[in-house]
């Protein structure tokens, strides 16, 4: 009996968290072009993290409910004007989109016997292209012709974990600053 009550309480807690999240959305980006032009189809509520149907996103507007396959929708914007993109039925937070898109996602990690949550970072060259883990090797492979960027990555970052460093003064991820520096011939300026 106690196990049944505990299981019911856990399920109720999951739905409670989902319904709070559901009320924070502003609308869906149906296509990549909608995201690029910041045009959403307005929604009062959105449920992008359904426990039982992870491949669907459910919206409601004025009491009318609509269901979409995540694979057919680019992403969504929440009430805080934070954008998310769907990829492989998961929502990824878009944290920077200056030169390429940088994403973060809070993921469950098995750490020995303990399960913890860790923020993982990803990137894509274009809004609609594949998401890749944010590593120096993946960045170099994604931008093979930008040798200055490759050199700056090696000079600035000793490990992949350092790629997530954020410059609070300039309000930008340092990897984006390096990309801009390389695009503007910054390595040549450093060599003078």
Cα gap 125→107, rounded to integer Å: 22
Across 30-48, average pLDDT: 87
Measured CA to CA, the distance from residue 140 to residue 161 in angstroms comes to 16
Query: Comparing 94 with 13, which gets the higher pLDDT?
Result: 94
Q: Supply the pLDDT for residue 187.
A: 55
pLDDT of residue 51: 62
pLDDT recorded at residue 41: 86
Collapsed DSSP state (helix, strand, coil) of residue 191: helix
pLDDT at 83 over 90: yes
Specify burial of residue 117 (Cβ count, 10 A radius: 0-12, 13-18, 19+). exposed
Confidence at residue 50, expressed as pLDDT on a 0 to 100 scale: 63
pLDDT (average), residues 171-185: 90
Written as six digits, the tokens of 40 are 């959403």
Residue pair 58/66 in contact by the 8 Å Cβ criterion: yes
Residue with tokens 């680019």: 74
pLDDT of res. 154: 94
What's the CA gap between 168 and 163, in Å, rounded?
Answer: 15
Position of tokens 């090797």?
137
168 secondary structure, DSSP code: T
Higher pLDDT, 47 or 24: 47
Of residues 73 and 26, more confidence is placed in: 73
* Cβ burial, residue 181 (10 Å; 0-12/13-18/19+): middle
Share of the chain above pLDDT 90, in %: 51
CA distance 25 to 35: 15
**Beta pairing class for 114-124 and 64-69:** unpaired
* Tens digits of residue pLDDT in 113-139: 888 899 999 999 999 999 999 999 999
**Could you state, in order of their start, the residue ranges of all structural domains in the chain?**
1-72
pLDDT at 52: 64
pLDDT-wise least confident of 53-67, 78-92, 163-177? 53-67
Closest C-alpha among 171, 177, 186, 184 to residue 157? 177
Asked whether residue 178 carries a pLDDT value surpassing 60, the answer given is yes
In sign, the C-alpha dihedral spanning 16, 20, 23, 27 is negative
Q: How confident is the model at residue 192 (pLDDT cuts 50, 70, 90)?
A: very low
Q: N- to C-terminal Cα distance for the chain?
A: 76
Mean pLDDT of the chain: 82
């Amino acid at each position: 009996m106690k196990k049944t009550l505990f299981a019911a309480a856990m399920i109720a807690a999951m739905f409670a968290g989902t319904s709070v999240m559901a009320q924070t959305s502003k609308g869906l980006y149906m296509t990549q072009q909608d995201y690029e032009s910041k045009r959403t189809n307005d929604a009062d509520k959105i449920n992008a993290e359904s426990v039982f149907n992870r491949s669907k996103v459910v919206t409601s507007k004025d009491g009318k409910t609509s269901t979409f396959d995540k694979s057919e929708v680019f992403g969504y914007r929440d009430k805080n004007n934070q954008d998310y993109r769907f990829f492989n039925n998961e929502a990824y937070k878009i944290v920077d989109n200056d030169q390429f898109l940088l994403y973060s996602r809070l993921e469950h990690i098995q750490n020995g016997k303990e399960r913890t949550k860790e923020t993982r970072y990803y990137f894509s060259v274009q809004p609609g292209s594949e998401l890749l883990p944010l590593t120096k090797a993946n960045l170099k492979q994604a931008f093979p012709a930008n040798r200055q960027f490759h050199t700056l990555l090696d000079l600035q970052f000793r490990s992949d974990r350092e790629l997530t460093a954020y410059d609070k003064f300039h309000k930008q991820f340092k990897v984006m600053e390096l990309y801009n520096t390389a695009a503007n011939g910054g390595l040549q300026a450093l060599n003078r």
